[in-house]
Amino acid sequence: MKKYFFTIIILFFNNALIFSQSIGMQVIANSGGHFQNGGYSLSWTMGELVTETLDNSYILTQGFQQSFFTVVEIENIEKDKNFNVKLYPNPTSKFLNISFSEDKKENEFFVELIDLQGRILKSFNILENFQKINLEDYPEGMYFLRIYNSKNYTNEFLKTYKIQKLF
């Protein structure tokens, strides 16, 4: 009995000295941040393609950080209903082609490439019906392409497109 008692005691105290490996949760994203004020904190990441959840309460979450949030619908404002442009391939890894409809030849267009933090990465005028944009220098993630009509030296907003840049 003493033999078992000492064995149990040794095993019990040995377990108190054994430590396991701990790996914290990490994400690699193209943008994100952390804000803390008083007893509240806010952490966010954008651009990662990891997980997706959908429940019966009409809440869809995507990405690494999953939490409760309020969905706010944004009204789509399109100034020119006849405006027709094709962006391809989307998603892309190298080049994005912009092709305007035939009836828009007489217009000039101003284009901005914007990241998820709202920074304008590239802006240029398009005078032709077709333009090829090189995206090789930009990291993988989500971008926005905002198109304006720049005829008569005014930049009238037309439409914003979501672009997915792959590796």
Checking DSSP bridges between strand 109-115 and strand 95-100, what pairing results, if any? unpaired
Domain interval for residue 37: 32-72
State which residues of the chain have pLDDT below 50: 68-74
In a domain, 122, yes or no: yes
Q: Check which CATH number belongs to the domain holding 107 and give it.
A: 2.60.40.10
- The answer to whether residues 95 and 134 belong to one domain is yes
Q: What pLDDT sits at residue 148?
A: 86
Checking DSSP bridges between strand 156-165 and strand 52-54, what pairing results, if any? unpaired
Checking DSSP bridges between strand 95-100 and strand 85-88, what pairing results, if any? antiparallel
Selection from 152, 151, 159, 153 nearest residue 84 by Cα = 159
pLDDT tens for 42-84 read 667 776 655 555 556 555 555 566 554 444 444 555 555 566 7
In a domain, 77, yes or no: no
- The answer to whether residues 97 and 58 belong to one domain is no
The encoded tokens of residue 134 equal 């090189």
Q: What pLDDT sits at residue 76?
A: 54
In a domain, 156, yes or no: yes
pTM value is 0.52
In a domain, 78, yes or no: no
Beta strands in 71-155 (DSSP E): 85-88, 95-100, 109-115, 120-126, 130-134, 141-149
Q: What pLDDT sits at residue 8?
A: 78
- The answer to whether residues 136 and 91 belong to one domain is yes
Checking DSSP bridges between strand 52-54 and strand 60-62, what pairing results, if any? antiparallel
Give me the number of domains the chain comprises.
2
